[in-house]
Each structure stands twice: as structure tokens, then as C-alpha cells.
Amino acid sequence: MNEHNMPVLGVDLGGTKILAAAVDPTGRVIARIKRKTRAERGPEAVITRLIETCRRVIRKAGLTWDEIGGVGLGAPGPLDPTHGIIYNTPNMPGWNQVPLGPRLAEALGVPVYLENDVNLGTLGEHALGAGRGTQDMVGIFVGTGVGGGVILDGKLRSGVRSAAGEIGHMVVLAEGPVCGCGKRGCLESVASRTAIVRDIRSGIAAGRESIIPQMTGGDPERLTSGVLARAWRQRDPLVREVMGRAQFYLGVGVASIVNLLDPEMIVFGGGVVEALGDEFLAQIRIVARQYFIQQRDADRVRIVTASLGDQAGVLGAAVLVWQRSHR
């Protein structure tokens, strides 16, 4: 961080909600607003809503646009960060090559920087959260999917096609379950909440005993990370078994990353990890370390929980503005 930095806006555009925050140069959130995305209304309506949300949060923070260094914007990929274009996003119908960055910049009169949302979560944790002070850090976010980001030599790694950090699509179980991406055996296909819910439902359908049907009234929509966490703490045998498998694959995935890059830190975030906390990480750590090819100094690779919660994305978006505008 630099004392000459200006306050900025960090915005996290998700399929269900928009989170926007005005952030001061020390990384403190001055004001924040959370709204529904209403993605079903299509891109034009969402863009209008985004512009409105940015203006509201500036007002709420008691700032004027002259005092703002820019807007950092996280969105689900695939996208082109260089030109600020969203290609399409599975959870937001109708988005196809939308120049979201330029559209917002024009409406707001400040520079707008677009980046993959999970990359920004990683950047946030690196600059202001659990990864503070590390040079090399990998973020893994376990929720509906498994996403992530890679920080090397203190910089967010983008890759030659801006496609780096797709940790959920590293293959850990070749020819395993079908993934949302259409391939098989990706980490996401065996360790996301989607995978966990799929396996719990199969278990219940096969007659396995579990408190889950009672907790959700049989409605799979109610099988949230919070419900999973409660059933896990109550030692529901089906939930423990299925989540134990997810922990095993996450451990193996961590080891693959460590054997390739040997970073200082792996930070785990996302809905599932937030709901379960460090308890969930214990088994991941054990498996990962077993699979480290270099056993020496295994504990120098720290495996920790994220510390910024749902603000990782907006804070990372703020950091993005400071980094890009100082180039």
C-alpha cells in the first residue's frame, strides 16, 4: 500500500448479488452496499444497476468522484481483463462479449479495471488478509464450484490468455465424475459443494441414514454450506464420509500445486470453508503433507483459512486499482 493512494471502489459482481465497497488507502472499508444482481433481467439492466450501486456507495461514504482513484470490478469468467470484456458467464444469461469495463468507465468517468472474481479474492487475501507478507501464495475457494488464484513474486498471475488460476479444473481423478465444465475428474467435480450435495443425495436415495432430509425438509435447495456444517458438527455419518472424500481430494490438489510451485502459503476460502472453519482444514493439511514429494520443511508451506470472508473480492478489487494505476 502507498500513502499517496486515493480511495477506490471495489465491486464484486456475482450471479445472485452485487457487493460494492468504498475502500480507503489503508484497505479499510468506508462504506458498503449489497444488492441482488437480478441477472435474469439481462446485461443492460445489470449494468444500470451496477452504475447505480457505485454511485450510492460513493454517496454513502461521503465521497465525490474526484476523490476516487478508480473502480475495481470482479466478475465470474471467462473474461478479458485487458479490454474489460465479459465473454459469457454461466450464471448470467445473455452476457456475450459485453464490454463491461469501458461501459462503466464511460458512465462513471473514472478508470475501471476488470478481473476474474476469484483472482480478486486471492489478491484481497494476499494484500490485506491471511496471505499478508507472503511473496508466493495460492488461494482456493470452495463453494458452488472450486476457484482460485495464484500470486507469485507478489503479483497476481494472469497467464498468456488471462486464464490462470483455474484450480478447480486441475484433474485429480482422471475419468472420475463429470464436471460442470463437461470434462471428468476435475477437482471441482469431486470437492465443490455441488459435488458434495450430489453425493449426499445419492447416498440418501440409496437408503443411507442421515439427518439431512430432516434438516432440509427434503428440499435440495436448502442443502447450503451452513446446513452441511451443522450436520458435519453433529457427526452425521453420511455427511462426514462424503465431506471426508472432498477433504481428501482437496489435500491431493494442494499437494499437486505444492509439488509444482512450492509456494509459501495456501489460503482456503469460500462458502464451505467459511461455514466449517479451520476444523475442515485439519484433514486437508494431513493429506496434503503426505503427498508432498519433498517432506523436508513441510511445515514451511502454510495451509490456512482466509480471513476476509465475503469482503475478499471487493478488497481485492480495490487492490487491483492501486496496482494497475501505478503501472
Residues within the interface to its own copies (CB under 8 A): 77-78, 87, 136, 150, 152-153, 157-167, 169-174, 176, 181, 183, 185, 248-249, 252-253, 255-264, 290-294, 296-297, 300-301
Task: Determine the straight-line distance between the first and last CA of the chain, rounded to whole angstroms.
Answer: 14
Tell me whether residue 22 or residue 242 sits nearer to its own copies (CB atom): 242
Tell me whether residue 176 or residue 226 sits nearer to its own copies (CB atom): 176
Written as one string, the DSSP assignment of 216-229 is: HTT-GGG--HHHHH
* Cβ pair 171, 165 in contact under 8 A: no
Tell me whether residue 30 or residue 164 sits nearer to its own copies (CB atom): 164
Nearest-approach distance from CB 318 to its own copies, in angstroms: 24
* Cβ pair 231, 277 in contact under 8 A: no
Angle at 61 between CA 56 and CA 62, to 5 degrees: 100
Nearest-approach distance from CB 157 to its own copies, in angstroms: 7
Tell me whether residue 143 or residue 185 sits nearer to its own copies (CB atom): 185
Residue 70 DSSP symbol:
-
Tell me whether residue 239 or residue 254 sits nearer to its own copies (CB atom): 254
Nearest-approach distance from CB 292 to its own copies, in angstroms: 8
Nearest-approach distance from CB 174 to its own copies, in angstroms: 5
41 conformational bin, left if phi > 0, alpha if psi -120 to 50, beta if neither: alpha
Nearest-approach distance from CB 129 to its own copies, in angstroms: 19
Written as one string, the DSSP assignment of 37-57 is: --GGG-HHHHHHHHHHHHHHH
